[in-house]
């Protein structure tokens, strides 16, 4: 027997859906923790988010683009991420317009109205085909919702919350954030705005980010269960310094001033309006001698040791922001200081050049040209095809980057990362610049990548994730230390091992606070002994 979507009744994977009373209540982190718990319990879990709006993306092994959260969740599951885990990715380009990525490949740009009127009615099949393939492959599929299921203006064409739960016949756990206040009102209010058949799908609540004495909260929990007839499955503690990659730039609000304390190296990341893949700098922020700050104005820039221009979904638009805000001049002033470096990643790399050209209106709704910051003799043209690929290699033997290595073997430093860009960048004066890296794409030959000034003060690359290469990261930071007259630090941490430890840390916290026996029962599964 087949259902509407062509999936036979042989599908075996249990499903569980995590929805929230609002955005940023902790759905992604809780889903990640559950992925790791089920893996620890000997099962084969997989994540799924039908539609994701994010500028932080992840490149799969086959060179496709999905939301960063689903990539991290797949890593927590111990499996390779695929586009089935996030078949539809929405990447905002400007207000009310976004690039629509379907199964990892850009489809088109649409306004919010066109997306709702013309795309969503056809999206159900895409979503369910992807989910059913996962259900045929894994033991459990953890389905993450988006925003709130009670957005009554959006519910009739919903493909990511309660409609999807109904199509998949999935039980729902509703998550709410007590730290923002009004937790009982948000839960009860959400239920009040759901249809009766939707309320029946809600099998439990999780209250997230609790600080204080649980006994003082207990009367409220008892009231909630009596009022709704739905159990509270757990009250999760507020976990500080979660080091799982975020997909929403709202987290940067808490990173404006960086760490507390006096770190020896101060790195300023420019936070423009369409910042993307800001997780490129997470690995730097975890070094003990480094403070990473996200700044939006000249006053916030201060006197950093390095200025980092991150990726962006709107290079020309965010370049205009630098000029209008006064940051262009402030960056130039700080870069003139002797030991300061200016580094661009992807869109930031494009900005460092002399000219940007968008002949196909890739980034905007009309043809645009712009003058770059002019630090490097480069020009970038935006093409209609997007480059999404993983890359690996080593530092170029003649690289100009100021790197400090005790063994003086910088060219042997391995690097890896990934590329996501629609621009092609050309050098117009190779005598003034030196290539940075020697890399290769899977199955391809090696080639030079990135350019820097011969004195190493200004350099740029298309490689996202570069600073997760442990030896390179520490050697570059030691170069900054050397420029300030500081002794190098000879040890660093493993970014890969730290990520695995973090998955285990959040899983342990969740397991200790959540009634996992009831979670298994909700899915119709037997909990392991």
Q: 441 vs 59, 280, 397, CA distance in Å? A: 13, 19, 19
Confirm if 316 and 368 have CB atoms less than 8 A apart: yes
Q: How far is CA 42 from the centre of its chain?
A: 27
In angstroms, the CA 54 to CA 28 distance is: 12
For residues 117 and 21, the answer to whether their CB atoms sit within 8 Å is no
Give dist(CA 523, CA 203) in Å, integer: 10
Question: In the numeric block, which tokens belong to residue 134?
Answer: 């996962």
Other CB atoms within 10 Å distance of the CB of residue 141: 24
Q: What is residue 118's DSSP assignment?
A: I
346 included as an active-site residue: yes
Phi and psi at 209, nearest 5°, equal 65, 50
Q: Which residues of 316-338 are buried (b: 16+ CB within 10 A; e: fewer)?
A: bbbbbbbeeeebbebbeebbeee
DSSP conformation class of 514 = B
State the first-to-last Cα distance of the chain, in angstroms, to the nearest integer. Answer: 35
DSSP string, 329-378: HHHHHHHTSTT-EEEEETHHHHHTSSEEEETT-SSSSS-EEEE---SSSE
Whole-angstrom distance, CA of residue 400 vs CA of residue 405: 14
Q: Active site includes 464? A: yes
Q: Are 480 and 341 in contact (CB under 8 A)?
A: yes
Cα–Cα distance, 209 to 460 (Å, whole number)? 39
User: Out of 35, 77, 346, 396, which one is annotated catalytic?
Assistant: 346
Which one is catalytic: 396, 399, 421, 464? Answer: 464
DSSP state of 486: P
| DSSP states of 169-184 | T--EEEEEEGGGS-HH
Instruction: Compute CA distances 225 → 51, 63, 222, 230, whole Å.
Output: 31, 46, 5, 5
**Alpha carbon 365 to its chain's center:** 26
Residues annotated as catalytic are: 346, 464
């Amino acid at each position: 027997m087949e259902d509407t979507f062509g999936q036979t009744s042989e599908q075996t994977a249990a499903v569980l859906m995590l929805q929230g009373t609002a955005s940023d209540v902790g759905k992604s982190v809780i889903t990640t923790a559950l992925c790791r718990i089920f893996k620890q319990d000997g099962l084969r879990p997989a994540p799924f988010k039908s539609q994701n709006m994010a500028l932080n993306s992840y490149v799969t092994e086959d060179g496709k683009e999905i939301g960063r959260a689903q990539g991290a969740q797949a890593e927590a599951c111990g499996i390779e991420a695929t586009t089935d885990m996030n078949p539809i990715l929405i990447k905002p380009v400007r207000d009310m317009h976004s690039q629509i990525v379907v199964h990892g490949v850009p489809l088109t740009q649409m306004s919010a109205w066109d997306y709702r009127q013309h795309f969503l009615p056809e999206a159900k099949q895409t979503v369910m085909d992807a989910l059913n393939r996962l259900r045929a492959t894994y033991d459990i599929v953890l389905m993450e919702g988006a925003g709130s299921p009670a957005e009554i203006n959006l519910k009739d064409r919903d493909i990511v919350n309660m409609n999807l739960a109904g199509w998949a016949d999935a039980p729902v756990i509703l998550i709410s954030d007590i730290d923002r206040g009004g937790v009982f009102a948000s839960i009860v209010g959400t239920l009040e705005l759901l249809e009766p058949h939707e309320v029946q799908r809600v099998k439990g609540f999780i209250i997230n980010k609790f600080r204080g004495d649980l006994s003082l909260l207990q009367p409220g929990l008892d009231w909630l269960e009596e009022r709704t007839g739905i159990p509270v499955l757990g009250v999760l503690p507020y976990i500080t310094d979660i080091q799982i990659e975020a997909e929403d730039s709202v987290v940067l609000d808490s990173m404006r001033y960086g760490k507390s304390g006096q770190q020896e190296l101060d790195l300023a990341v420019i936070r423009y309006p369409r910042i993307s893949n800001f997780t490129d700098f997470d690995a730097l922020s975890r070094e003990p001698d480094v403070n990473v700050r996200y700044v939006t104005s000249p006053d916030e820039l201060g006197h950093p040791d390095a200025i980092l221009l991150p990726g962006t979904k709107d290079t020309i638009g965010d370049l205009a922001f630098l000029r209008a805000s006064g940051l262009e001049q402030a960056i130039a002033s700080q870069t003139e200081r002797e030991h300061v470096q200016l580094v661009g990643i992807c869109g930031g790399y494009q900005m460092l050049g002399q000219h940007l050209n968008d002949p196909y209106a890739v980034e905007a709704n009309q043809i645009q040209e712009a003058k770059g910051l002019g630090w490097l003799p480069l020009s970038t043209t935006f093409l209609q095809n997007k480059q999404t690929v993983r890359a690996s290699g080593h530092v170029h033997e003649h690289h100009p980057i100021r790197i400090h290595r005790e063994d003086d073997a910088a060219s042997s430093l391995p690097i890896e990362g990934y590329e996501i860009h629609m621009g092609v960048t050309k050098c117009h004066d190779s005598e003034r610049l030196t290539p940075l890296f020697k890399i290769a794409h899977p199955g391809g030959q090696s080639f030079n990548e990135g350019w820097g000034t011969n004195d190493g003060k200004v350099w740029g690359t298309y490689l996202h994730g570069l600073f997760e290469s442990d030896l390179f990261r520490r050697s570059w930071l030691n170069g900054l230390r050397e420029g300030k007259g500081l002794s190098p630090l000879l040890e660093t941490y493993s970014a890969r091992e730290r990520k695995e430890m973090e998955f285990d840390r959040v899983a342990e916290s969740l397991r200790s606070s959540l009634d996992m026996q009831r979670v298994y029962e909700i899915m119709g599964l037997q909990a392991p002994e």
